[in-house]
A = this chain, B = another copy of it.
Amino acid sequence: MGIVLKDILAVLPAGDKDEVKETTIYIEGNRIEAIGEKPQGFHEEKVIDGKDRLVIPGLINCHTHSYMAFMRNVADDLSFMDWLFGTIDPIEQQMTDEDTYWGACLAIIEMMKSGTTCFNDMQMNIHQTTRAVKESGMRAVICRGLVGSGNDEAGQMRLRQAYEERDRAKDCGRLSFMLGPHAPYTCDDGFMRIVSEEAKKNNMRIHVHLSESVSEIQQIQEKYGCTPIKMADKNGLFDVPAIAAHCVQVTDSDIDILKEKKVSVVTNPASNMKLGNGFAPIPEMLEMGVNVCLGTDGAASNNSLNMFHELSLLTLVHKGTHKTPQCISAREGFRIATINGAKALGLEQEIGSIEEGKKADLAILNLNTPSLTPRNNLIAGLSYSANGSEVETVIIDGKIVMEDRKILTMDEEVVYKKISEIITRMGLDKKEY
């Protein structure tokens, strides 16, 4: 279908920064065919009037656990290990396949409604997530969370599930897969080495949690005599392109490793604050040239999957911790939430910016909103004042998946109802909060 975004303000790349310019964008199939001039023989099937609208590259949520959306607000104000092993784990034991599916649907609705067009997910029931992604029209990179000791059967089974789902989903161009060793405190060194070898052999990327909490640092130090990042490096995880979530508690030599091994770091400021883990040294990593991208983490520890909220945190909190108003500008933050994420996922030729030939993954914002008035400096508006509800229309892979804030590919009311049934079945509505 040929879609035209006519006379619209657009955030376009201009060298190593972005600029806002009025233009017209022509979409054919799943790609941006042209920007500015109408291509010869272009057949307009749908014209979106760009008056009072801004189009941006869809935001890229580089670390989340989509199924956790149904656990929003069930486990607040707990320390990291109490949260994970005391509250989340027992809920996960009760989860059915369908619960994962409806959780992922809720997550996808929330992300689309706040301008996210691609997410990088780690979970257990991988097939239910790919199912939700396929049906919804979302783009995602997915890994089966891998937990194991040496070459134990449980770890091997999880690896088989990862490959089975990758092979089964080959027909969907919006899906790609990584290998996801969960974390150094849930995978031992033997299993880490197995996963690293598998990733090399199969030409797959790695998605891992690293150096999130102080207790993780202590555990790994006691067990292996080094930091989690050093442990991951020693076991080969960074010998393929890797994406490391959190990296809150890091040493200078950890940052050197991340830089040298070209590891992408996903920062998750809301989750890191909420679980009492603190602030990752993101300005220092950027200064060193590490590729930093942005994620929301799961709704059980954020509790939002709204990347505009996360972008505002990214561009605010480090100004606070460093007492420097110049720290992570609005423009730098916006690139962290878009093109840097695409790089981390190995998709920078395909998504992350509005360019001819790239996939049409776009969010269109209504500018007749108080948060984006006035319009003199809209990239500042995106980072500091937008809340995500300005997003009106979302296009993914050339297909309109949301229009006038209505999701076209899923029935929102059914999803809300199903989530409510899960909460009731698990007795979480009766819990004392």
Known contacts: A304-B384, A330-B77. The answer to whether A277 contacts B323 by CB under 8 A is: yes
Least Cβ distance of A52 to chain B in Å?
Answer: 8
CB pair A274–B73 under 8 Å, yes or no, is: no
Contact of A373 among B321, B323, B389, B416 (CB under 8 A): B416
Within 8 A of B (CB), among A245-273: 269-270, 272-273
CB pair A387–B385 under 8 Å, yes or no, is: no
CB pair B74–A377 under 8 Å, yes or no, is: yes
Query: Does A275 count as interface, using CB distance less than 8 angstroms?
Result: yes
CB pair A319–B274 under 8 Å, yes or no, is: yes
Chain B CB within 10 Å, residue with most, of A79, A330, A389, A431? A389
Contact of A325 among B275, B373, B375 (CB under 8 A): B275
Contact of A377 among B73, B279, B325 (CB under 8 A): B73
Within 8 A of B (CB), among A335-383: 368, 370-371, 373-381
Nearest B-chain residue to A389, judged by Cβ: B389
CB pair A70–B384 under 8 Å, yes or no, is: no
CB pair A433–B376 under 8 Å, yes or no, is: yes
CB pair B377–A329 under 8 Å, yes or no, is: no
Known contacts: A73-B384, A387-B388, A428-B376. The answer to whether A370 contacts B110 by CB under 8 A is: yes
Chain A, interface size: which category? 35 or more
Chain B CB within 10 Å, residue with most, of A113, A309, A327? A309
Instruction: Kindly state the separation between the CA atoms of A80 and B319 in the bound complex, as whole angstroms.
Output: 12
CB pair B370–A113 under 8 Å, yes or no, is: yes
CB pair A416–B368 under 8 Å, yes or no, is: yes
Residues in chain B near residue A72, CB distance under 8 A: 373-374, 381, 385
Query: Does A136 count as interface, using CB distance less than 8 angstroms?
Result: no
- Determine how many copies of this chain the complex contains: 2
CB pair B303–A73 under 8 Å, yes or no, is: no
Residues in chain B near residue A70, CB distance under 8 A: 374
Chain B CB within 10 Å, residue with most, of A80, A273, A416? A273
CB pair A316–B273 under 8 Å, yes or no, is: yes
Chain B CB within 10 Å, residue with most, of A70, A320, A428? A320
Least Cβ distance of A298 to chain B in Å?
Answer: 12
CB pair B380–A433 under 8 Å, yes or no, is: yes
Nearest B-chain residue to A386, judged by Cβ: B304
CB pair B330–A278 under 8 Å, yes or no, is: no
Residues in chain B near residue A275, CB distance under 8 A: 319, 325
CB pair B374–A320 under 8 Å, yes or no, is: no
Residues in chain B near residue A371, CB distance under 8 A: 110, 304, 306
CB pair B323–A384 under 8 Å, yes or no, is: no
CB pair A368–B278 under 8 Å, yes or no, is: no
CB pair B306–A309 under 8 Å, yes or no, is: no
Provide the A304-332 mask, 1 if CB < 8 A to any CB of B, else 0. Answer: 11101100110011011111111101100
Residues in chain B near residue A380, CB distance under 8 A: 73, 76, 303, 433
Instruction: Kindly state the separation between the CA atoms of A305 and B370 in the bound complex, as whole angstroms.
Output: 9
Closest 9 CB pairs of A and B: A389-B389, A110-B370, A273-B320, A276-B325, A73-B380, A73-B377, A303-B384, A387-B387, A377-B433
In the complex, 15 of the A-B residue pairs with CB atoms within 8 angstroms, ordered by the A residue number, are: A72-B373, A72-B385, A73-B377, A73-B381, A73-B384, A77-B330, A80-B325, A214-B323, A272-B320, A273-B316, A274-B316, A302-B385, A309-B312, A309-B387, A374-B420
